[in-house]
Amino acid sequence: MKFKKDRSKARYGIETFHSNPSKPFLLLAILQGMEEGKIVSPLIEPSSYLEQTFWEYSNCLDIGRKRDMWLPFYHMHGEHGWTLRRHDNRDPGQDGQPKSTHRLRERYRGAEISDEYFSLYSDSSKRKLLIQDILTENFHPDTHQTIKDLERISILSNRYAEDILEMKPVKSEASEKAVRDSGFRKAIQKAYNHTCAFTGLRLQTPSFHTIIDAAHIVPWSVSHDDSLGNGIALSKNCHWAFDKGMISVDEDRRILVSSRITDERMNAPELINLNGDKVLPPSSDYAAPSELAFEYHRNKIFIE
């Protein structure tokens, strides 16, 4: 499938035939959404799911300059079968560029694809052929397997994350490590809304890179447990300190700080000041970590 090209050898490499890959990545994200049952109508909404999936594709290749989702979503109106739909139902013909995905959502309900394309995209066998066509026309052959692997791992890890969040049993030992790691991370970050349970820090780039890690309370190598009861969202410095036993959690869900941190040779006031602070719970829709997991951490990992 060919798109109107934004070509520039200065900005885009041979991986994308020196063209902006944003439109192909957006369409791949839409097709994945149909595969996962997230998109079920001709109206394509600029949802968080679509944005995150778009960025997973964009980040899978080292392509230099990357674009926010608003740009291909808006400029797809120049392609056949893509019609922007405003919230106020006005004609979008004279609209200027929204300049951000947030403004895109404020202005548009979404984009409506033609019945012809919706029928094509909804057919599983035709969808696979279309994906191959998109890769052939827009990406160097050396990148095809990387993009296909990304799609497979993204779909499987999304299912894994949903099972964790819905408290379903997950076969973590039987799952591929890339799927398990990504699924656990997605589940814990969503449960805590990308917020550190120790500091309240929440920091995320427009491309969905976040400072928040998904930490196992009892190490996975010991527990093989990816459930919500064994997970907690922590900023990167807190995650490191937690894994090394420098901080833990007491029976009242307050933070414990090791005497090692207060040693005069150390300089970690941000961590020292956490001592006694209440641990933030996940969103009310999701289960909190178990006391048994924190008890193991206090007894087996924490250094008093």
Q: How confident is the model at residue 8 (pLDDT cuts 50, 70, 90)?
A: low
Question: Residues 6-12: what's their mean pLDDT?
Answer: 70
Q: How confident is the model at residue 4 (pLDDT cuts 50, 70, 90)?
A: low
Q: How confident is the model at residue 32 (pLDDT cuts 50, 70, 90)?
A: very high
Q: Is 257 helix (H, G, I), strand (E, B) or coil?
A: strand
pLDDT for the residue 87: 97
Using an 8 Å Cβ cutoff, are 271 and 248 in contact?
A: no
Torsion of CA 79, 101, 130, 135, to 10 degrees: 100
This model's pTM is above 0.85: yes
Question: Residues 5-34: what's their mean pLDDT?
Answer: 87
Question: Residues 3-17: what's their mean pLDDT?
Answer: 76
Q: How many residues does the chain have?
A: 304
| pLDDT per position as a tens digit, 161-210 | 999 999 998 877 767 999 999 999 999 999 999 999 999 999 988 777 89
Question: Residues 81-103: what's their mean pLDDT?
Answer: 94
Q: What is the largest CA-CA distance in the chain?
A: 70
Average pLDDT of the chain to the nearest whole number = 93
The Cα 300–Cα 27 span in angstroms is: 48
The Cα 139–Cα 175 span in angstroms is: 30
pLDDT for the residue 214: 98
The Cα 284–Cα 198 span in angstroms is: 17
The Cα 86–Cα 106 span in angstroms is: 9
Q: How confident is the model at residue 50 (pLDDT cuts 50, 70, 90)?
A: very high
- Per-position DSSP letters for 148-193, written without gaps between them: HHHHHHHHHHHHHHHHHHTT----TTTS-HHHHHHHHHHHHHHHTT
| pLDDT per position as a tens digit, 223-258 | 999 999 999 999 999 999 999 999 999 999 999 999
pLDDT for the residue 267: 87
Dihedral of alpha carbons 143, 148, 153, 159, sign:
positive
Q: How confident is the model at residue 6 (pLDDT cuts 50, 70, 90)?
A: low
Torsion of CA 69, 205, 147, 44, to 10 degrees: -30
pLDDT for the residue 266: 79
pLDDT for the residue 7: 62
